[in-house]
Amino acid sequence: MRRRQIALVMAAAMAASALSGCGGSGNSGSATTAAPATTAAAASEAPEAGGESAGETEGADGEAASGDKEGYLSTFDVAGAGDVSLDVMITSLGDSDGGPFLRGVMDKYMEMYPNVTLTPVECSMNDLYTTLITQATAGTLPDIFTMSEAYSANCLEMGMMVDNLPELLGEDYMNGLLDVAIENSTVDGTFVFMPWQNNTSAMVYRKDLFEEKGIEIPKNWDEFLEAAKTLTEDLDGDGKVDRYGSAFAGTRNDSAESRFQTFALTFGCDFITPNGDGTFTSGFGTDAYKNAMTTFVRLATEEGITPPGFVETGYSEAYTMIAADEACMFFSASNVLGGIYNANPEMKGKMGSFPMPTAEGVSPVTSFSSVGMTISNTCENPEVAADFLKYLTSVENSVAWNEATCRLPVVKDALTAICENDEVYNGFVEASDSAVIYPPFAGLAELRDICGECWQTVVSEGVAVEDAIANAAAKAEETAKTYSN
């Protein structure tokens, strides 16, 4: 893969604050700044997340645009659109933290526009790909649905979405998004989905225990192992480990498999490389991939630093272990902090983040990805759908969304406000300087699943790791050929 290194230049103020600890106490995910923002209390009362809709703002032509709200770049007369009904399928609707918040924002939008009915449709991220393929084939796609770079090439290939999304969102809105997020949402020059969540990967950790034990932030995987061993303890003296140094997700789903893709990057392994002529080459047959998979399995199952049950440990199980003081480190996007805090609010102030460790000789690197939303090509009211998406991702709602879930936005002003006020995000900010974007590849989900199959056969079926890797390499090369022109 021809990796494109990025730097998330968020704002001068945020960059300066990141280097000095973000200027906050780090005791909470809340952000209280002069920028438009709700309080933590408002975030917990989701119907108020959008704030009051008083006032109008002037458009570029100097006249007030119909429907414009404070902090909300509306450019379409929603109230004059007649009765509108939109099905909204966002994977976070099923989350214990994000779901209530999203439903509250939807309720607030319908209060502003009584002529609009928004119907929430739940679908887990792990089921998204198969669900969308089925719906697109049957012609039953919801009006708005979740999309990410893992499926964006498929989305474009199947013509699932509208072909004028930037125009629907408007120039002012597009200018407020991180450039890298726009690039990540674009396939062959087409803006496929509106990015929403900044999923830069980093390691979250028990900062309080690192400080208590004098552990330095690990820069490579050998140092990570040593730190994890120090943190693995029998706390009550009964001869059994009570707290492990780390948790690893090993379930066979996109959540765990996408994490391994980031892990592989830290060994210098690119899953797929475009050859510039419409063909692709898999990286699964390289020494970098072999080292990554071998180390992943060893750390997760052989060193005694992780809780038992690796192949049954998913994202929620991993963050629950940290919340229960049973594990100390886990790599993820920032939303994992929301899961930890939701399971155990007492963990606020105890957590931190640092950039991904790397293998010897590999420069700092991590992945940038973005989950967002797009509008179906079968949507009868795409202008209203776009208006709702702009409302949902306004600065005010983006800050409140972070308060509710600890997810980082791609709206630049909201990202600045959040990172200036909570040092727990320092590692994600630092990691962003060495983040890379994966190239669009329609078979990415298949490559990821090949990895999940690889480690599962080793751990659950006793297949030799060398044989499992060879099998994965053969399948990956065939996948690369299938999607080559």
Provide the residue ranges of all domains of the chain, joining segments of one domain with +. 4-200+369-437, 202-367+443-482
User: Rounded distance, CA 88 to CA 122, Å?
Assistant: 8
Q: How many residues does the chain have?
A: 485
pLDDT at 477 over 50: yes
pLDDT at 210 over 90: yes
Least confident among 138-152, 289-303, 412-426 = 412-426
Q: What is the pLDDT of residues 326-356, one digit of tens each?
A: 999 999 999 999 999 999 999 999 999 999 9
Q: What percent of the chain has pLDDT over 90?
A: 75
User: ∠ at Cα 437 (395, 10), nearest 5°?
Assistant: 35
User: Rounded distance, CA 417 to CA 79, Å?
Assistant: 31
The predicted model scores a pTM of 0.76
SS (H, E, C) 26-61: CCCCCCCCCCCCCCHHHHHCHHHCCCCCCCCCECCC
Average pLDDT over residues 169-174: 96
pLDDT at 54 over 50: no
Q: Backbone phi, then psi, for 27, in 5-degree steps?
A: -85, -5
Pick one of 1.10.230.10, 3.20.20.70, 3.30.1330.10, 3.40.190.10 as the CATH number of 202-367+443-482. 3.40.190.10
pLDDT at 150 over 50: yes
Q: Which residue has the higher pLDDT, 189 or 23?
A: 189
Average pLDDT over residues 279-298: 98
Average pLDDT over residues 49-76: 47
User: Rounded distance, CA 259 to CA 249, Å?
Assistant: 8
What's the pLDDT at 5? 55
In 119-215, where does DSSP find H-type helix?
Answer: 125-138, 149-157, 165-169, 171-175, 179-184, 207-213
- The arrangement of secondary structure in 4-200+369-437, i.e. its CATH architecture, is 3-Layer(aba) Sandwich (3.40)
